[in-house]
Structure 1
Amino acid sequence: MSSPTAPSKPLDVAIVGAGLGGLTAAIALRRQGHLVKVFESSLRSRDIGAAIGIPPNSMRVLETLGYSLGNLRSTEYRGVVAYNADGSKAYTATFKDQAENYGVQGCMCHRSELHDELKRLALSEEGAGVAVEIHLGTEIVDCDPEAGRFTAQTGEKYDADVIVAADGIRSTMRTIVIGHPVVAPATGLCAFRWMADASKLEGKPEFDWVLKDGISGGRLVVGQDYARRCFLYPCRDRTLINVTMMHPDKRDQDQHSWYARVTRSDVLEEYKDFGPFFQSFIALVEDPINMWQMRALPVLSTWSKGRLVLLGDAAHATLPTLGQGAAMAVEDAGALGCMLPFGTTPQQVPARLAAYQDLRKERDEFVTVESLEQATVPAKRGLFHRSEEMQDLLNGYDAIAAAQEHFKKTFVVS
């Protein structure tokens, strides 16, 4: 006489990192019926950074997770208007109708709005599954991937059936998966990042190029050799202008912190060859200004080991050139949820994580490599804006449908 089938149980899931990728994974796995805990080293659950683009491929995942677009206070991203450094118009790159061709219109928003919306979906008592637990001020420093046991800096130990490493470009968990440290190498590029108050543009026609002229979307200002370029766009109901100014870094980047504070004078000096129309815009910035080194991870040999798996920047941190870095983390999270449906047993987890890697690795690495090359190889600069084929490849992808199909082919016996 055979024994009755044991009832299905939820998996105990631990996620290291409460950024955009970690929270999206928490929501996706919560909605599958699992018990999810997020461990964040900082004492505040907030996302570091300014604004962000949300292309159609990541919006499609967010829709399946029940997000509210209105809570993002976003602006539609319909293309880019490019200007030369002297103020003359270079070109307008209008994207194809994204709602018609991809089923959803991409947008731009402040990172904090998206982060807050993900926290709402993770922590709310309403919605599918059990609310996620977030443990702040808990830095995870070690892990036994085979046993599913991990250790906090305090020495406290935890156990989980699945451990998701969403701890960013400087991931501690990545060293455990790979077996040795992998540091994102210097690219020789850095960027000033700051926010401008849109109210300062009112009543000043010389700034109409920022918000009023042209299509809804980004504004690109490029120097003569394209080595210095600025990308800006509105967010938070068009009350703020997000500005990223990328240029060569004269310093030995490995001898300096990845992050520094600079002044408006530093910015004006770096971009002194740009014309008055842009100089007057830079004059709106208030000190201090953030300067970040632009770094990207090399291709990794693997993303998973036992019950531990990498997600987002921990696996494939990249440059913002294609506007797809965070989108890949959101896609990862949606796909991971599909690989671990309710009823997955702890014994099945390693194979499911390997399947997630098989599905995601090639696409994520394509974005990483292209983003780096389109920032550093002169002939490829601006290629994404010119290539409808590449836009279709990235924006038209349905991460949830692809993951469901991959799961079916890999694990469902017909």
Structure 2
Amino acid sequence: MSAPTANSRPLNIAIVGAGLGGLSAAIALRRQGHLVKVKFEVAIWDRQYIFKESFQVFEASLVNKEIGAAIGVPPNSMRVLEAFGYDQKNLRSCDYRGIVAYSADGGEGRTMLFKDQAKHYGRQGCLCHRTALHEELKRLALGEEGTGTPVQIFLGKEIANCDPEAGTLTSQAGETYEADVIIGADGIRSTMRTVVLGSSVVAPATNICAFRWTVDASKLEGRPELDWVLKDGVTGARLVGEADSGHIFLYPCQDATLINVTMMHPDTRDQDKHSWYSRVTREDVLREYKDFGPPFKAFIELAEDPINLWQLRAIPLLPTWIKARLALVGDAAHATFPTLGQGAAMAVEDSAALGCMLPYGTKPEEVPSRLAAYQDVRKARGEFVCIDSLEQITIPSKRGLFMRSEHMQDMLNGYDGIAVAQEHFHKTFIKF
């Protein structure tokens, strides 16, 4: 490694994609003193339903909002966010201390507690709305306060081509942008992944889908038959039903004023002949969950049309995440099921590792070896989460393994992504 000198300059970083992964990468690299621009085109799920964003992150539309519902922020993710300087109050989060599980026909709930996360991992996992986390990451990336130069966002820049050897991006309008490093953070339908691999890799059909919706918690007031949703039991999530026949998974966010709902079940359609994302009605949901008990149907009745129906897909394991000056992060590299609640956390950890491998003083000619080191430190962990998240919903013997296994909880929640990446950097590049 070459130490920074008076002639050292910041690297020019271009990020394609401004979701949670793209913004996290922007923050990590900004904090190293680099010049980060987010230029991107992101199409979520299907061209029929396009929600696009951009930064240097590049974005095709003039929108800069994260879509989706709520997510979990586990301790390993919080550890990185704290290093980024985030303010947890801005997430309006709720503690995630465990799950109360119910059979589909009702009866008394069974409480499954996490170990004391604050005691064992130094921080308590939480639940928040995805938009709240996205807005906090935008504040850290774009704000004048904080370490480094604020990130630049270029809206309305759809990326048509990338040359990872030359370090160039070309927009649909024919504009060319040069960068020392290009980060592909453009999601499960990534175009940057195609550039890395030389061919398209499409997430295969799984024949599993999910209804997703949110409901105002005030609708529960004066409804004692719905006390199971928020009032009864541990602060955290509620699980109703079985994985093989369909289940409801819900939890509070936005200071417990909003309830996030995911209803995962088998999909009997030919998924490849349907949009990955569509809209359905409350009656469609009730029809699918007709065998669930009265307290659960009463909750579904609170849903308002239209309701989102998402196909759940996972990216197959990739032979590589890198090519020359281009590296993939987040869902572009390892999109998976939400079973372990680690999807966004892996994108945040990926970004922190990139920051560690590209400190100020890194020379442009050193970038390919630094990205190789990033892959070395991140690929196995990202692939573990990708595989196990899928298997814990598709293999009966593995269902609920995360809740039963303290070892797995420790491996995921207790991980210090920055410390591990820094150690790998020093072993690989520091010469004594």
Q: TM-score range by the shorter chain?
A: over 0.9
Deviations 1:351-399 (A, max 9, x none): 0000000000000000000000111111111111111111111000000
Shift, 1:6, TM fit: 5.6
Shift, 1:227, TM fit: 2.6
Please name the residue that 1:347 is paired with: 365
Paired AA for residue 55 in structure 1: P
Paired AA for residue 323 in structure 1: G
Please name the residue that 2:394 is paired with: 376
Please name the residue that 1:22 is paired with: 22
Query: Which residue of the other structure, out of 216, 224, 247, is the alignment partner of 2:265?
Result: 247
Deviations 1:293-343 (A, max 9, x none): 000000000000000000000000000001000110000011110010000
**Matching of residue 338 in structure 1 with residue 356 in structure 2:** yes
Query: Which residue of the other structure, out of 266, 274, 291, is the alignment partner of 1:273?
Result: 291
Query: Which residue of the other structure, out of 110, 134, 137, is the alignment partner of 1:115?
Result: 134
Please name the residue that 2:81 is paired with: 62
DSSP-derived class of the 1:292 partner = strand
Compute the TM-score of the two structures, normalised by the length of structure 2.
0.94
Please name the residue that 1:328 is paired with: 346
DSSP-derived class of the 2:154 partner = strand
Distance 2:363 2:306 in 1: 51
**Matching of residue 180 in structure 1 with residue 202 in structure 2:** no
Query: Which residue of the other structure, out of 147, 155, 177, is the alignment partner of 1:158?
Result: 177
DSSP-derived class of the 1:341 partner = coil
Contact 2:277 2:308 survives alignment (8 Å): yes
Consecutive unaligned residues of structure 1, counting only runs of 5 or more, are none
DSSP-derived class of the 1:187 partner = coil
Please name the residue that 2:250 is paired with: 232
More moved, 149-158 vs 343-352: 149-158
Identity among equivalent positions (%) equals 71
Please name the residue that 1:71 is paired with: 90
- Number of residue pairs aligned between Structure 1 and Structure 2: 410
Paired AA for residue 100 in structure 1: K
Please name the residue that 1:196 is paired with: 215
Q: How does 1:380-399 map to 2 (within 5 A)?
A: 380-399=398-417
Shift, 1:154, TM fit: 1.4
Contact 2:5 2:361 survives alignment (8 Å): no
Contact 2:247 2:265 survives alignment (8 Å): yes
User: Any runs of at least 4 consecutive aligned residues in structure 1 with deviations exceeding 2 A, and if so which?
Assistant: none
Please name the residue that 1:128 is paired with: 147
Query: Which residue of the other structure, out of 239, 259, 280, is the alignment partner of 1:262?
Result: 280
Please name the residue that 2:105 is paired with: 86
DSSP-derived class of the 1:136 partner = coil
Distance 2:313 2:407 in 1: 26
Please name the residue that 1:95 is paired with: 114
Consecutive unaligned residues of structure 2, counting only runs of 5 or more, are 40-53, 55-59
Compute the TM-score of the two structures, normalised by the length of structure 1.
0.98
> Are residues 5 and 289 of structure 1, via their aligned partners in 2, closer, same or farther at CA, if it must alter by over 3 Å?
closer
Please name the residue that 1:46 is paired with: 65
Deviations 1:52-103 (A, max 9, x none): 1000000100000000000000001011110110112352110111011001
DSSP-derived class of the 2:318 partner = coil
Distance 1:13 1:227 in 2: 46
DSSP-derived class of the 1:295 partner = coil
**Matching of residue 220 in structure 1 with residue 239 in structure 2:** yes
Distance 1:167 1:5 in 2: 34
Deviations 1:206-253 (A, max 9, x none): 111111111111100014x64301110000010100000000011000
Contact 2:72 2:341 survives alignment (8 Å): yes
Alignment root-mean-square deviation, CA: 1.1
Paired AA for residue 217 in structure 2: A
Distance 1:195 1:5 in 2: 53
Paired AA for residue 70 in structure 2: A
Distance 1:88 1:399 in 2: 41
